[in-house]
Amino acid sequence: MTMPSAMPMHDDDIRFATLPAREGREALTIEYQWIEAGGRDAPLAVFLHEGLGSIAMWRDWPRQLCERLGMRGLVYSRPGYGRSTPRAHLVKWPVDFMSQQACEVFPLLLDALHIDEDERRRMWLIGHSDGGSIALLYASAFPTMLQGAVVIAPHVFVEDISVRSIAQAKQAYEHTDLREKLSRYHADVDSAFYGWNDIWLDPEFKAWNIVDRLARIVCPVLAVQAEDDHYGTMAQVDTIARAVRGARLCKLPRGGHSPHREASATLNDAIVQFVETARA
């Protein structure tokens, strides 16, 4: 996990949407932000953050990419992160929490923001880490409601390297200044950290696997992975390439787990080339 050096907050741009209550849970408040780089009639790019991410953690990268793509952008913090409804401290995310985000919470947010079916058919998802997995799950569950997806350091099954690094993150959170650094990005930092950390370190989560769902994806997919990522290996994107017809791979020699921060120029060029080719 690589932390941005500072957090630019554009509070005037942040808005909040209310998602209706469902059986077993109360209504949710979701913080979101529009990026109007491409104009109101441009295709929509939705950014899905990593397991410890939020609107603020993205910094200015979504805006930079939307300007190059000529797209509008939507950035939001999932429940438990940023200034969205926090996770209750005694509540543990279920093993299928990413499926819940993809198939229930995200579609409800699209409804709340009045994003109609025509806009969804032209929509692109750009997901990082857990957000990449959520993008793949949405593409599988709603194959006609998406134009394409870019998934950066996604997970489609659990690797030992991921579990080891997440266990190390727990030690850093509890014994270094990591908690203080993360508190800049989350109203309830313990909600964000332990929601992510506890489920990934749960022995039952080792069996989590979404490979069988990938074959249902019909939209163009670009899967990105860096060689020096300590949260995952090339096995993740190689599996996507085998399972998703026509998927493209971008393998970076460097970029860590966050190539949009550590290798942004190379990554942006790859995404722009992929999107332009797919749209053509």
pLDDT along the chain (280 residues), means of 10: 48 86 90 86 96 96 96 97 94 97 98 96 98 98 97 98 98 98 97 97 98 98 98 98 97 98 97 95
CATH code (residue 111): 3.40.50.1820
Q: Which domain holds residue 16?
A: 11-279
Alpha-carbon distances, residue 138 vs 14, 36, 51, 106 (angstroms): 24, 24, 17, 9
Which residues lie below 8 Å from residue 58, measured CB to CB, with a gap of 6+?
47, 49, 75
Provide the pLDDT for residue 1: 59
Whether residue 130 lies inside any domain: the answer is: yes
Provide the pLDDT for residue 280: 84
Provide the pLDDT for residue 10: 46
3-state secondary structure of 169: helix
Provide the pLDDT for residue 25: 83
Q: Check if the beta carbon of residue 240 is closer than 8 Å to that of residue 247.
A: yes
Whether residue 1 lies inside any domain: the answer is: no
Provide the pLDDT for residue 8: 42
Whether residue 5 lies inside any domain: the answer is: no
Provide the pLDDT for residue 53: 98
Whether residue 31 lies inside any domain: the answer is: yes
Domain count, the chain: 1
Q: How far apart are CA 252 and CA 230, in angstroms?
A: 13
Phi-psi region of 136 (alpha: psi -120 to 50; beta: other; left: phi over 0): alpha
Whether residue 123 lies inside any domain: the answer is: yes
